[in-house]
Amino acid sequence: MLGEAVYKEFSAKSTVLATDIDLNESWLSLLDVRNTDDVSKVVSDFRPDYIIHLAALTDMEFCERNIENAYKTNTESVLFLSREALKRNIPFLYISTAGIFDGEKDVYVEEDIPNPLSVYGKSKYFGELVARSIPKSIVIRAGWMMGGGPKKDKKFINKIVKQLNQGSKKLHVVSDKHGTPCYTYDLARSMFYLLNEEKYGLYHGTCDGSGSRLDVARLLVENLGLSKDVEIVEVDSDYYKKDYFAPRPFSEKLENRALKALSPGLTRDWRICLKEYVEKYYRVA
């Protein structure tokens, strides 16, 4: 999801080597970031001016079942890539997550102490610590991701749209999970700014504002023009506990103080971004 937005943003202004283990686009090259020798060879051959690390296992239930793989992908790979950046004295940018917090607070700022609840959250937080250990690092904590459209969006927005496209007239949506949506295209623009301006440090890279999953679903259905046709039923997390059993914090709300202090225009309200996203990609059959 984010890789697509970053490639569009950066390839318009620079030469980009984009890698993945799933070569589903013509602009992708093969790299398994869990293999230190392959990482070293690819970086040595390309000789980048900076390294952006987006690779991650984000399926929280998969991480709970596959702990070793989660840490190899979300933590160990950060060591391999940041080591290459340190060796070459070039900037290293790592994407972290709001899931590193425990949800005991309502809103989190950059200085708050993480306390992840899940394997996913822990593996990402350890990756964050590795990234922050080198001088020229930028760590950005992302929120509830939206972007990529039907082909690449594996998150909440596309899951709802798929239900609607399958003819669902009733949606069960949780109201006891709160967070801050993160628009991939705005985040990619923020990433380019921070790298170009050499603004190293820790940032929250979300949209402005926050809400519950229920709030997001209601606005999504409204933007799709289906408010009169679709009933949204409010439920709590226990409704989905069989399928979504990984521990999740009550609140993942992030306030992006550091980024706004540098350049207030980089972030927009999530409601504006959601409307733009729907208009860009989605038509419900």
| Residue type at position 14 | S
Give the separation between CA 34 and CA 57, rounded to whole angstroms: 12
- Coil, strand or helix: which one is 171? strand
Count the Cβ atoms, other than its own, within 10 Å of residue 161.
22
**H helix or E strand, kind and range, residue 233:** strand 231-235
Gap between the Cα atoms of 48 and 125, Å rounded: 25
Q: Which amino acid is at 115?
A: N
Q: Are 183 and 243 in contact (CB under 8 A)?
A: no
**Ramachandran angles phi, psi of 114, nearest 5°:** -65, 150
Region 30-59: mean pLDDT is 96
Q: Which of 69, 6, 62 is nearest to 33 (CA)?
A: 69
Residue 102 has pLDDT above 80, yes or no: yes
Q: Which of the four pLDDT bands, split at 50, 70 and 90, describes residue 282?
A: confident
CA distance linking residue 220 with residue 218, whole number of Å: 5
For the segment 190-204, what is each residue's pLDDT rounded down to a tens digit? 999 999 999 999 999
Task: For residues 167-195, give the mean pLDDT.
Answer: 95
Instruction: Give the separation between CA 180 and CA 260, rounded to whole angstroms.
Output: 15
| pLDDT above 60 for 34 | yes
pLDDT score for 151: 87
Residue 285 has pLDDT above 80, yes or no: no
Express as a percent the part of the chain with pLDDT over 70: 99
The reported pTM is 0.93
Please check the confidence at residue 284 and state whether its pLDDT lies above 70.
Answer: no
Q: Is the pLDDT of residue 249 over 80?
A: yes
What is the bridge-based pairing of β-strands 137-142 and 92-97? Answer: parallel
The one-letter code for the residue type at 279 is E
Shortest CA distance to 204 belongs to which of 154, 261, 284? 261
User: Residue holding tokens 């519950």?
Assistant: 212
Using the predicted structure, report yes or no on whether residue 117 has a pLDDT greater than 70: yes
* pLDDT, average across residues 176-192: 95
pLDDT of residue 154: 86
Domains and CATH numbers, the chain: 2-154+181-210+252-268 (3.40.50.720)
Highest mean pLDDT (candidates 22-26, 119-123, 153-157): 119-123
Half-sphere exposure of residue 222: CA atoms within 13 angstroms, side-chain side: 11
Q: List, for residues 51-85, the tens digit of each pLDDT value.
A: 999 999 999 999 999 999 999 999 999 999 999 99
